[in-house]
Amino acid sequence: MLTPNRHYGELKDSYLFARIAEKTADYLREHPGEKLLRMGIGDVSQPLCPAVIQALHGAVEDQARKETFRGYQSELGTDFLRAAIAEYYDGRGVSISPEEVFVSSGASDELGHILDLFDPACPALIPEPAYPAYVDASILAGRRIIHLPTGREGGFLPDPSGAKAGDLIYLCSPNNPTGSVLDRERLRAWVDHANRTGAVILFDAAYEAFISDPALPHSIFEIQGARTCAIEICSLSKTAGFTGTRVGYTVIPKELERGGMNLRQMWVRNRTTKSNGVSYILQRGAAAVFTPEGQKQIHETLDIYKRNARTLGETLDKLGIWYTGGKNAPYIWLACPGGMGSWAFFDRLLAEIQVVGTPGEGFGACGEGYFRFSAFGDPADTREACRRLETLLG
Ligand code: PLP
Q: Are residues 218 and 159 in the same domain?
A: yes
Give the residues across from 203 on adjacent strands.
171, 232
Residue 206 CA to ligand 1 center (angstroms) comes to 6
Domain presence at residue 282: yes
Domain presence at residue 228: yes
Domain presence at residue 271: yes
Q: Are residues 266 and 151 in the same domain?
A: yes
* Residue ranges making up the domain that contains 24: 13-42+294-393
Rounded to an integer, what distance in angstroms lies between the CA atom of residue 74 and that of residue 86? 17
Please identify every stretch of the chain with a pLDDT value under 50, giving residue numbers as ranges: none
Domain presence at residue 27: yes
pTM of the predicted model as reported, rounded to 2 decimal places: 0.96
User: Tell me, what CATH number does 216's domain have?
Assistant: 3.40.640.10
Q: Are residues 304 and 382 in the same domain?
A: yes
User: Tell me, what CATH number does 319's domain have?
Assistant: 3.90.1150.10
Of 243, 258, 291, the residue at which a domain comes to its end is 291
Q: Are residues 124 and 211 in the same domain?
A: yes
pLDDT of amino acid 353: 97
Residue 28 CA to ligand 1 center (angstroms) comes to 28
Q: Are residues 309 and 286 in the same domain?
A: no
Rounded to an integer, what distance in angstroms lies between the CA atom of residue 225 and that of residue 81? 26
Q: Whose CA is nearest to atom 16 of ligand 1?
A: 108
Q: Are residues 28 and 176 in the same domain?
A: no
Domain count, the chain: 2
CB distance 308 to 46 below 8 Å: no
Q: Are residues 317 and 227 in the same domain?
A: no
Of 291, 314, 343, the residue at which a domain comes to its end is 291
CB neighbours of residue 380 within 10 Å: 9
Residue 29 CA to ligand 1 center (angstroms) comes to 30
Q: Are residues 258 and 313 in the same domain?
A: no
CB distance 254 to 263 below 8 Å: no
pLDDT of amino acid 14: 61
pLDDT of amino acid 70: 97
Q: Give the mutation target among 175, 237, 372 for probing the ligand 1 site: most ligand atoms within 8 A of CB.
A: 237
Is residue 177 reached through a cis peptide bond, with omega within 30 degrees of 0 on the bond before it? yes
Residue 95 CA to ligand 1 center (angstroms) comes to 25
pLDDT of amino acid 13: 64
Ligand 1 pocket at CB < 6 A = 42, 106-108, 131, 172, 176, 204, 206, 235, 237, 243, 248
Domain presence at residue 277: yes
Rounded to an integer, what distance in angstroms lies between the CA atom of residue 380 and that of residue 56? 29
Q: Are residues 136 and 198 in the same domain?
A: yes
Rounded to an integer, what distance in angstroms lies between the CA atom of residue 101 and that of residue 174? 21
Q: 356: which DSSP letter?
A: E
Kindly report, residue by residue over 211-233, the tens digit of the pLDDT.
Answer: 999 999 999 999 999 999 999 99
Q: Are residues 253 and 184 in the same domain?
A: yes
Q: Are residues 338 and 366 in the same domain?
A: yes
Of 247, 272, 291, the residue at which a domain comes to its end is 291
Domain presence at residue 1: no
Nearest in space to 43 (alpha carbons), one of 75, 21, 62, 22? 21
Q: Are residues 168 and 316 in the same domain?
A: no
Domain presence at residue 139: yes
Query: Where on the phi/psi map is residue 372: left (φ > 0), alpha (ψ -120 to 50), or beta?
Result: beta
